Amino acid sequence: MATTTLEPRAAGYRRAWVLDWLTTVDHKKIGILYIVNSFLFFFAAGILALVVRSELAVPGMQFLDEQTYNQAFTMHGTIMLFLFIIPVLSGFGNYIVPLQLGAPDMAFPRINALSFWLLPLGGLLIFSGYLFGGAAAEGWTSYAPLSNRAEGVGTDLWIIGLALVGTASILGAVNFITTIFKMRAPGMTLFRMPIFVWTILVTATLILLATPVLTAGLIALFIDRNYGGSFFDPSVGGNPILWQHIFWFFGHPEVYIVILPGMGVVSEVLPVFSRKPLFGYKAFVFATIAIGLLSFSVWAHHMFTTGGALFLPFFSFMTALIGIPTGVKMFNWLGTLYRGKLVFSTAMLFALGFISMFLIGGISGVMLASPPIDFHVQDTYFVVAHLHYVFFGGSVFAVFAATYYWFPKMFGRKLNEPLGKIHFWIHFIGFNLAFFPMHELGLLGMPRRIADYADRPDWVILNFMSTVGAFMIAVSVIPFLINVIATFINGEPAGDDPWEANTLEWATTSPPPPYNFDRLPPIHSERPLFFLTHGHGHAAERPGDLEEGSEEDAEHRKGVV
């Protein structure tokens, strides 16, 4: 850097620092970039949610006109899903997976950087519709032929942005899977991988196989809109239902892309703060794989009301089946708590919050699998409640659990616990206040995506409650932000292993050095660090551990994966 030497020292350092972050291929820095970028989009999409909830607080149009409202909920959904939840979990995956595997970096560090930088580009393209006569306003599902006919460049920017974000996910998925298969430390067999890594592996596989189909659909939509194509427009021979098939073929695996890493986070946090191993590790792994497989055979349950009832019982049945592995996971979490010694750190609170809230989302999901019930509540606020209990009560709670859990590893300092608990409780109460009433609203028949609603006392009360809850969630972010800033200024030093954890990321310094490990502990189980700190007492309780391990080692050496 010849030029920087001419600058004053501090400025030169700052410039080098910025350049370092912009050009980094270190998985840890990229992970942090992912997380920071995702939280910025989270706040933007959160503001849009407040805009939507403000408009819906009472009947009548107060702040917005209809089209602005439609843009707000479309952008809210798109940004939250594609630029917050998926990338933030990828970010934690980026940071944590190589560490948990005892690897020095991801398999393809440069591609890793590329897949990150496509994200802000795609996100800004999606948002930039606001600068060119209005953002996309067809909902995050962008059903044809509404999306064919929608005017303005906003929808085209939405398509291009989403295709970029999808490409980023695909590249990221290739990287994750390759890393997991090729970069594991000696002794780290597949069945000794932390559950978080397993969930990332299944998630990446879903991304790899589902996202390209969405890309194909987006391209078809773009051709329809700009080159006179007739994929989806019935007036020129197209088939609008085809869009729904393509979208949901991607869209339902997408739900598990969003939730599985969250389950992984919870499965890391619960054992550590229960001071016990995860109950039924292998059952949990198989349940995760089962969910991944089933997720490709349920997409049409989003389309029960479209009439073509031919395969409806099949899709209903497959959807109900997903309840089984999910139930197994739920029981395994409870089994982990059973006779443990629970420590209620903020991370643990968010993990417990995940279990109790995701349960509700899971139950309402099974209810929606029943076609006659779906006929009533499909496209009403019941579905909005359901998806928020899964995405928000599930994934977002897990994101915060992960943040409180891994922050010390990333920055060497622990987040403040009292502030964290304030954050959790306001968040938890606000969340339920915002979304539980929506179940009832949906059952009463309020459709989703309406800018204005009938002036009925029951609807008004429930909507008002929901709006208050939404603002409570927004308020809960304040102690979180204060916490992060205060911790950077004057946080409690964390040490290598502040939680007495199980997995390899805690076996190195906080933050870890470039290439992560100076030396690795021996890996004989899915809890190498626990093994290291508690030694043979642990091994004696699980006598099969070593023999089983050596067998798998032999298999591993042969390259069987």
Partner 1 sequence: MTAGTMQAHPAGEEEARAAITHGQSGMPTVMVGMLLFIASEVMFFGGLFATYFNARATTVGEWGPPAGGHLDIALAGVLTAILVASSFTMQFGVWAIRRGDAGKLKMWTGITLALGVLFLAGQLYDYSELGFGIGDGVFGTVFYTLTGFHGAHVFGGTVGLTIVLARALRGQFSARNHVAVEAVSMYWHFVDVVWIGVFSTIYLLG
Partner 2 sequence: MAPRSRLRAIVRIGAPLLLIGLLSGCLIPPDPKTEAAKDVFNLYLLVLALAAIVFIGVEGFLLYAVFRYRRKPGDDVLPEQLHGNNTVEVIWTLIPTVIVFTLFGFSMITLGEVNAKADNPTTIQVDGFQWQWTFRYDDGPSITGTAVDPPVLAVPVGEPVRLVLNSLDVNHSFYVPQFLIKRDLIPVGENGTPNELEFTVSEEGTYSGQCAEFCGAFHDDMTFSVEAMSRDAFDQFIASGGAPPEPAEGECSTTIQLAAVESIRFDTDSIEVPAGEDFCVELTNNDTVPHDFGVVETQYTGEIVQPGESLTYVVPAMEAGDYTFLCTLHPTAMVGDLTVTE
Q: Which is nearer to partner 2, 372 or 559 (CB)?
A: 372
The interface mask with partner 2, positions 440-479, x = CB under 8 A, is x--xxx-xxxxxxxx-------------------------
Q: Which residues bind partner 1 (CB under 8 A)?
A: 103-105, 107-109, 111, 170, 173-175, 177-178, 181-184, 208-217, 219-220, 223-224, 227-231, 236-239, 242, 245-246, 249, 412, 509, 511-518, 557-559, 561
Selection from partner 2, partner 1, none that 131 binds (CB < 5 to 8 A by kind) is: none
- The neighbour count for residue 334, using CB atoms within 10 Å, is 12
Residues 293-352 within binding reach of partner 2 (CB under 8 A):
305-307, 309, 312-313, 316-317, 320-321, 323-324, 326-328, 330-332, 334-335, 337-344, 352
Stretch that binds partner 2, among 170-178, 185-193, 259-267, 377-385 (CB under 8 A): 377-385
Instruction: Give the helix ranges, DSSP H, for 379-514.
Output: 381-390, 397-411, 417-444, 457-490
In the complex, the smallest distance separating the C-beta of residue 170 from partner 2, rounded to whole angstroms, is: 28
Q: Which is nearer to partner 2, 15 or 534 (CB)?
A: 534
15 binds partner 2 (CB under 8 A): no
Q: Which is nearer to partner 1, 108 or 425 (CB)?
A: 108
3-state DSSP assignment of residue 413? strand
| Alpha-carbon span 542 to 526, nearest angstrom | 12
Q: What is the largest CA-CA distance in the chain?
A: 73
Burial tier of 480 (Cβ tally within 10 Å: 0-12, 13-18, 19+) = buried
Residues 529-558 within binding reach of partner 2 (CB under 8 A):
534, 537-538, 541-542
In the complex, the smallest distance separating the C-beta of residue 400 from partner 2, rounded to whole angstroms, is: 18
- The neighbour count for residue 465, using CB atoms within 10 Å, is 18
| Alpha-carbon span 264 to 339, nearest angstrom | 22
Query: What DSSP element (H or E) covers 414?
Result: strand 413-414
Residues 237-276 within binding reach of partner 2 (CB under 8 A):
237-238, 240-241, 274-276
Q: In 3D, which of 424, 350, 398, 29 has the Cα closest to residue 199? A: 398
Selection from partner 1, partner 2, none that 21 binds (CB < 5 to 8 A by kind) is: none
**Structure tokens belonging to residue 484:** 């992060």
CA distances, 407 to each of 25, 344, 414 (Å):
20, 17, 7
Give one word for 415, left, alpha or beta, with left for phi > 0 and alpha for psi -120 to 50. Answer: beta
131 binds partner 2 (CB under 8 A): no
| Alpha-carbon span 523 to 102, nearest angstrom | 9
Q: In 3D, which of 250, 246, 263 has the Cα closest to residue 296? A: 250
Q: Which is nearer to partner 2, 92 or 158 (CB)?
A: 158
Q: Which is nearer to partner 2, 21 or 317 (CB)?
A: 317
Q: Tell which one of 37, 38, 70, 516 touches partner 2 (CB under 8 A).
A: 70
Query: What DSSP element (H or E) covers 79?
Result: none
Stretch that binds partner 2, among 32-40, 124-132, 374-382, 480-488 (CB under 8 A): 374-382
Q: Which is nearer to partner 2, 381 or 407 (CB)?
A: 381
Selection from partner 1, partner 2, none that 103 binds (CB < 5 to 8 A by kind) is: partner 1
